[in-house]
Amino acid sequence: MSKDSQQYPGISRRTNSSGVSSMVVSLMTGPLLVTLMGARTLANTLEQVGIVSEEFFRGVRLPNLQNVHSIDVGAIDHTDSECL
């Protein structure tokens, strides 16, 4: 028996809690690192999707449209004056 348990018989021996806590920390390290790497990959992917959508809506990848002059400008002015 240890010296403490001889002096204080009501106190039981302490368990090795540092061994249990180090085991828990070592088991949780792997999943934590995988989660961090997954979050970084997801953030990079979402950033790239944002850049692509910005380029698309800015019109860089859209085809150029030719101007169509089939509507007479005078006819538009005439109809606008009738509405007033």
Provide the residue range defining the domain that includes 44: 25-59
For 20, the token pair is: 């249990």
Question: Judging by beta carbons within 10 Å of its beta carbon (0-12, 13-18, 19+), is residue 26 exposed, middle or buried?
Answer: exposed
Q: Side chain identity at 25, as an amino acid letter?
A: V
The answer as to whether 43 is a domain residue is yes
pLDDT at 9: 60
pLDDT at 32: 96
The answer as to whether 11 is a domain residue is no
The answer as to whether 72 is a domain residue is no
Number of domains in the chain: 1
pTM of full prediction above 0.85: no
pLDDT at 6: 58
pLDDT at 65: 72
- Give per-residue pLDDT as tens, 31-61: 999 999 999 999 999 999 999 888 877 765 6
CA separation for the pair 79, 14 (Å, rounded): 95
The answer as to whether 33 is a domain residue is yes
CA separation for the pair 75, 82 (Å, rounded): 11
The answer as to whether 31 is a domain residue is yes
